[in-house]
Chain A
Amino acid sequence: MRPEIAWAEAMKFENRHDPYRFFDELRKTPVARVADDIYVVTGYWELLALAHDPRVSSDISRSPLQAKRAAAQEPPPEAEHLTAYGRQPSMIMSDPPYHDRARRQAMRQFGPPHSPDLIPSMEPGIERLCNELLGKAAGKTRIDIVDEYGYRVPVTVICKILGVPLEDEKAFHAWIFDFMAGLDLGPEAATEEGKVRAAKGRESTAALTEYLRGLIDGYVRKPGEGLLSRLVNDDGPDGPMAPPEAAANALLLLIAGHDSTVNTISHCVLTLLRNPGSVELLRRRPGLIPRAIEEVLRLQSAVQFFPSRSATADIEVGGTVIPEGSAIFLMYGAANRDPGRFPDPGRFDPERRANEHFGWGSGIHTCFGGPLARLEVNVALEVFLQRVENPRLVVDPPPYRRNQIFRGPQHLFIDYDRIREHS
């Protein structure tokens, strides 16, 4: 299969539940050209090298996708995501020194050494919420792990951490849904429906950006609770963050701060139920849960890739020269199944050793929220395992969402005998 065909197949909506067959095809050329100026990286070692190479830029304004977008009247589909986070670059789409400074400013309000207690302080609330949600499922025998369980937890937590009012959740949930559906890097983006979705995505993204700007401006005028307020008011060594920048990063933190966690919770449940014996194994040895979660992230990376990178010079890697100016997609989900790095890569092995996967990325853009996400997924899974008796998949594969980057089930229905009392 030619790389451009394998790539198009992997990006097609109908293959969302399993793009890995096509990634295996692609990996025959670990660094493959799939369009004029797009190179996709599916080999583990090649990805590792590029994720750490300072000639690879994450700055969206240097990407050929951005240039295309600027030149075209009607933006080409693969450039859609560029509008997503607005004009001001957030840290994920920028390079040092800007990136490092923004990340330091945000981290100051989020984790150690300056804010070591924030994440641990969330744990009791997360556990309470998980139990409440299962309590609601007690009278029934079927639950949607996405809408009725996995989604509620991270969205509640990230709102609290950021200082985004939970009352606004309905509104921004709908906007984010449109944004995700409109951000399509596959062949369907060029269809009429695709264009409609893209237009809707643009509108909703604009509305979401506007909303967050308003929130930030409010915090500039009157400081309040939460990370966003502290970001624009706190006077740390790097100073307060300018409001437009803070709005761009708020958008990133709000979306990245819950969406991938939802998908990871769903994929954990899905993977355990697909592999007979693993629910029992983790019930017997709950100490294995953290490793099982890492193994799910390897197999079903919630962030499959992030398409803002490009080459600032000709870069030789894996027998290919990526020409200066090309877009580079580091395919985390594909490299995580490279048999040259992980023996028997398709197998779910919660006891796998040396499991240094790319589920959290690699290099300076390595996930900012990992410790929070780990805590959320861990508690959600633990409570699920303790209380849901005899869980079974209703449909396999479950229906997937359209988005290729932030990949996960739209719904995940589970049947069960009963919900055990909360001990």
Chain B
Amino acid sequence: MRAELIADVVAEFKAYGRIVIVGASLAGLRAAETLRDEGFTGPLTIIGDEKQEPYDRPPLSKQVLKGLARADHTLLPRMRKVDADWRLGVAATGLDRRVKQVRLADGEQVPFDRLLIATGTRSRPWFNPQEAALEGVFTLRTADDAGRLRAALAAGPGRVLIVGAGFIGSEMASVCRELGLAVTVAERAEGPLVGALGGVIGDIAAEMQRDHGVDLRTGVSVEALEGDAQGHVRRARLSDGTTLDVDVVVASLGSIRNTEWLEGAGLASGRWGVACDAGCRVFDINGVVTDSIFVAGDIARAPHVLYDYQFLVQEHWDNADVGGRVAAHNMVSLEPQRRPHLPLPAFWSGQFGVNIKGVGVGPFADEIVITQGSVTDRRFAAAYGRNGRIVAAVTFNHGKWLEYYGALIERSAPFPPPPPGYDHPDGMQPMPARFPTPGAPTGWPDVVLTGHDPTERGAEYEYRTKKR
């Protein structure tokens, strides 16, 4: 095709193409804004099953539970006005790729030329439905969840039980202590944050919890919840035979990806999310890339050049923010202009007065070394290594150093990294990072597409840190 013909195709699509976004949260909103930014003026429909306008989730487990912000006051800042047909409060229930239509719960069919899937995840519910229905039993994913849980905490319950000590569970425990509430954390693994950061950091996180008066129980699971005559939860039975008197229980058991509505659509979607290439284009069930369906945010899984091209799912804010933008750009661009979404994974968390920040993929590593600062003072940096190269890093109140480690990870620099010129921690020996053994459920499926030569550095990564 001649160049002007191609330009015509793009211009025509931008003027008349129909785009549908399913999922009206961070990834979906940023995609919609980007589409309009890039000059797409055709009809845009945004479908979201939550009634609220797009809002931000990280404050829910922090400011909202503390009572510093109201649950309905965390709307996402808008980067620009988006002219779109917003269908809020109605779920998508099916996708028919032959006729290119999204089916809605109210029976309507919405046609599209390009589709973005951004339906994210939901909390894994408490496994026993009767117990889950007891008053005082919560999960936390939505603003409504946060509003209800905040009210329960503000009422001054006797004891709060948090089941699961990942980032969100640990943040909630921290808030409970700040509110002066008695709190027990029950975690099946050997310590808090172990799935994401391994046992060495888990030990430090455990100490932080105990120093702040959390009754932390590790290596145990909660087997049953019991209610009183009014149907309010009052007691929990643990796998070590002990029981606890509790008034509030929060199940923080990880997430389930919202892929059910895609069943039968013939896409590579399932338990781990929707598979796509590094340009956010969805694979069909055969692994053939589609050209009209894109995916971004918590629900997307894409091969990552830095991690042996394994498929990576990233339930982190930055990934949804940037992924939504890249997907949108690629939806209205032809091949030479398409961009990869290759973020160096990055996350943060605030708990027990410590700002935790990380880059890279910890669970990919087998070794860890504390590189800077002091663990006792809760101010340090640590690097993770695998096969002699650095693959991740985490900082506790040491976030200004993160960029340095990000650059090392991008270059697949040797592990352990060279010793710093000052502020040496006591022991600087690499040690086993102690991640849960493979086979135990973790976020990382074992799909390897192809080999990877770590000395190849052709790829362009995005790496986001706020410079100031």
Contact = CB atoms under 8 A, between A and B. Distances in A.
Contacts of A76: none
Interface stretch (B242-250, B266-274, B316-324, B420-428): B420-428
Interface stretch (B22-30, B95-103, B200-208, B399-407): B399-407
B468 A370 contact: yes
B374 A312 contact: no
A273 interface: no
B400 A95 contact: no
Interface residues of B, number: 19
Interface of B: 371-374, 377, 379, 400-401, 403-404, 407, 418-423, 467-468
25 contacts: A48-B403, A52-B401, A52-B404, A52-B407, A53-B404, A54-B371, A54-B404, A54-B420, A57-B422, A59-B422, A62-B421, A96-B373, A96-B422, A96-B423, A100-B379, A312-B420, A312-B422, A313-B418, A313-B421, A360-B468, A362-B467, A363-B400, A363-B403, A366-B400, A370-B468
Smallest CB-CB A-B distances: 8 pairs: A312-B421, A54-B420, A52-B404, A95-B422, A96-B423, A55-B421, A364-B400, A57-B421
B418 A55 contact: yes
Given A97-B374, A100-B379, A362-B467, A54 B422 contact: yes
Contacts of B404: 49, 52-54
Contacts of B377: 97
Given A54-B420, A96-B422, A356 B379 contact: no
A55 B418 CA distance: 8
Given A52-B403, A54-B404, A366 B422 contact: no
Interface of A: 48-49, 52-57, 59, 62, 95-97, 100, 311-313, 356, 360, 362-364, 366, 370
A62 B421 CA distance: 10
A57 B419 CA distance: 13
A360 B372 CA distance: 24
A388 to B, nearest CB: 30
A277 B377 CA distance: 54
Contacts of B467: 356, 362
Given A97-B373, A100-B379, A49 B418 contact: no
Nearest to B422: A95
Contact of A95 (B401, B403, B419, B423): B423
B43 to A, nearest CB: 29
B60 to A, nearest CB: 20
Given A52-B403, A52-B407, A360-B468, A97 B421 contact: no
Nearest to A363: B400
Contacts of A362: 467
B266 to A, nearest CB: 40
Contacts of B421: 54-57, 62, 95, 311-313
Nearest to B377: A97
A370 B467 CA distance: 13
A62 B372 CA distance: 19
Contacts of A311: 421
